[in-house]
Amino acid sequence: MSLSNVASKCDITSMDLRNLFTGDVSVSLARKFGATTTDLQTFIRGDVNANMASALNLNYADLKALRAEIGREGAIALLIGRMLPR
């Protein structure tokens, strides 16, 4: 599967997907989570806040523990996984 196909399945642009890999988050991508670009970028960089926990439907402590275990690439994969249709 190409990145274009992944982006299409996530209902985002290929550029948004590529930028996500570098930790840059567009406003349109952040809106998909009901969060701000800062919330998502902070999450990718390794910090967790209550807004991000709410956006991912997890409590703060659980998300903090999960983020500590999965690392940066895992955080990005988690965001992509949440955008994919079920």
pLDDT tens for 23-78 read 999 999 999 999 999 999 999 999 999 999 999 999 999 999 999 999 999 999 99
Supply the range of the domain harboring residue 58. 3-83
pLDDT given for residue 81 in this prediction = 97
Count of domains observed in the chain: 1
**Mean pLDDT (whole number) for 1-20:** 95
pLDDT given for residue 58 in this prediction = 97
> Please, what's the largest Cα pairwise distance for the chain?
35
Closest CA to 12 of 2, 4, 22: 4
pTM of the model: 0.93
